[in-house]
Structure 1
């Protein structure tokens, strides 16, 4: 359902943090602070799982990025499963950090490689150029920079997105119905 731009107001002003599970806080701090160069972290120990009251002690670690937003991690060994830390498909989970220039992107690639991490790219996605690696927790990490025409490209794509979405829906609907069932695809205002 399309809405007019004038109706698109939100009280959401940005991302405070995106949070993921980590295998070990020390290893995660080494990667994000010492390899990627994020600021020194902060964190809190919490004794109960939020909302449930169940005992599940964890350390919640926060790394502040240059724009004031955070990436955060839960070091919760009592509820962790080893298989969770295997590399995840980038379609299932990845985090894209932004750098300001091609030089910074290249410097990050060298920095990662010098720390023993394999790096893919840079790949040109049209509106951004990106490199890819995995952190020690199996999370795909993308480092990306906007091309000069980034905003114009996305504005152009937005102007025809309803048509793009309708074409995509038609192309994939039967596959999704077969795979997931109509009930799983139902939402208010949707045709299920």
Structure 2
């Protein structure tokens, strides 16, 4: 039986490798681990020069980017809303969320949040490549996590049958939707 040990790396496309490395270092304190560049893709043997950069996302997690200058400009899947596809990173506290939010906003980067998801709080913003980033600080109680664990399969089953949002965990956002704070 195979067991996944951890994610080795997650790779996305970037517009400019240097800008991406510097931006993630400045705003998310990610160290630059490694760069690989080739004129030919090793797995496909396709001639396509690229720069592949790897960043330290903490605790053995690696975030990587490819700059591929001979391909058409980056785009998004027009059928997927911008809020859906994102990278979420865990931080230690809501105070850290607020500190990072102030730093981003001071440099003119638009930030959504702090958004209260009951079991964690988040801020959202875009990197220079158009990738949505979420920083999340856990704040759920063991009881809340147990409640969610107890209903996960029932929720998935109901969703699979109806394609409508099950209400088993609606308590997580009821206050937010009743009285929006932002």
Provide TM-score, normalisation by structure 2. Answer: 0.80
- Residue 39 of structure 1: which of 31, 41, 57 is its match? 31
- What's the secondary structure of 1:144's corresponding residue? strand
CA distance in 1, matches of 2:82, 2:45: 32
After superposition, the CA RMSD in angstroms is: 2.4
- Residue 47 of structure 2: which of 28, 44, 55 is its match? 55
Q: More helix by proportion, 1 or 2? A: 1
* 1:26 is aligned to 2:18: yes
Could you say which residue in structure 2 is the equivalent of 1:154? 145
- Residue 104 of structure 1: which of 96, 121, 128 is its match? 96
Could you say which residue in structure 1 is the equivalent of 2:82? 89
Runs (4+) of structure 1 moved beyond 6 Å? none
Q: Which runs of 5+ in 2 are unaligned?
A: 165-182
Could you say which residue in structure 1 is the equivalent of 2:7? 15
Residue 117 of structure 1 and its aligned partner are, at CA, apart by: 0.4
Q: Contact (CA 8 Å) 2:101, 2:123: kept in 1 or not?
A: yes
Provide TM-score, normalisation by structure 1. Answer: 0.76
- Residue 165 of structure 1: which of 144, 156, 163 is its match? 156
CA distance in 1, matches of 2:118, 2:75: 35
Residue 82 of structure 1 and its aligned partner are, at CA, apart by: 4.1
- Seen in structure 2, the aligned counterparts of structure 1 residues 22 and 69 have a Cα distance that, compared at 3 Å, is same
Deviations 1:24-58 (A, max 9, x none): 01221221011222113421112222421111111
Q: Which runs of 5+ in 1 are unaligned?
A: 1-8, 174-192
Residue 159 of structure 1 and its aligned partner are, at CA, apart by: 2.2
